[in-house]
Amino acid sequence: MLDLDMGKYAAFVWPAYGVSALTLIGMVVLSLRRSAHWRKRAEQLRGEDERP
Amino acid sequence: MFSALANPQRFMSFSRWAAPLLGAAAAVLIAVGLYLGFTAPEDYQQGDTVRIMFIHVPAAWMGMFVYACLGGASFFGLVFRHSLADAAARACAPLGAAFTALALVTGSLWGRPMWGAWWVWDARLTSVLVLFLFYLGYLALQAAIEDEAKADRASAILALVGLVNLPVIHWSVVWWNSLHQGESIFTRSGPLMSAVYLWPLAIMGLGYTLLFGSLWLVRTRAEVWRRRARAAAIRAAG
Q: What is the pLDDT of residue B69?
A: 97
Q: Which of A8, A13, A34 sits opposite B52 (nearest CB)?
A: A13
Q: What angle do CA B108, B166, B129 make, to 5 degrees?
A: 30
Q: Are the Cβ atoms of B232 and A19 closer than 8 angstroms? A: no
Q: What is the pLDDT of residue A45?
A: 83
Residues B63, B96 contacting (CB under 8 angstroms):
yes
**Does B25 contact chain A (CB < 8 Å)?**
no
Asked whether the CA dihedral B176, B178, B183, B187 is positive or negative, the reply is positive
Q: Are the Cβ atoms of A46 and B228 closer than 8 angstroms? A: yes
Residue of chain B whose Cα is closest to the Cα of A12: B109
- DSSP class of B41: P
Nearest Cα of chain B lies from the Cα of A25 at a distance, in angstroms, of 11
DSSP secondary structure of B63-128: HHHHHHHHHHHHHHHHHH--HHHHHHHHHHHHHHHHHHHHHHHHHHHHHHHHHS-S----HHHHHH
Residues B106, B56 contacting (CB under 8 angstroms):
yes
From the CA atom positions of chain B, what is the Rg in Å? 20
Q: Are the Cβ atoms of A2 and B95 closer than 8 angstroms? A: no
Q: What is the pLDDT of residue B82?
A: 86
Nearest Cα of chain A lies from the Cα of B153 at a distance, in angstroms, of 23
Instruction: Encode pLDDT of B92-120 as tens digits.
Output: 999 999 999 999 999 999 999 999 999 99
pLDDT for B179 beyond 90:
no
Chain B residue numbers with beta carbons less than 8 Å from the beta carbon of A28 are: 23, 211, 215
Q: Which of B110, B221, B223 sits opposite A12 (nearest CB)?
A: B110
Q: Which of A7, A27, A28 sits opposite B47 (nearest CB)?
A: A7
Nearest Cα of chain A lies from the Cα of B91 at a distance, in angstroms, of 9
CA distance B172 to B156: 25
| Domain positions in chain B | 23-38+49-116+125-180
pLDDT confidence tier of residue B2, bands split at 50, 70 and 90:
low
Instruction: Encode pLDDT of B119-178 as tens digits.
Output: 999 899 999 999 999 999 999 999 999 999 999 999 999 999 999 999 999 988 888 877
Mean pLDDT, chain B, integer: 92
Q: Between these two residues, B87 and B186, which has the higher pLDDT value?
A: B87
Q: What angle do CA B117, B121, B122 make, to 5 degrees?
A: 95
Q: What is the pLDDT of residue B201?
A: 96
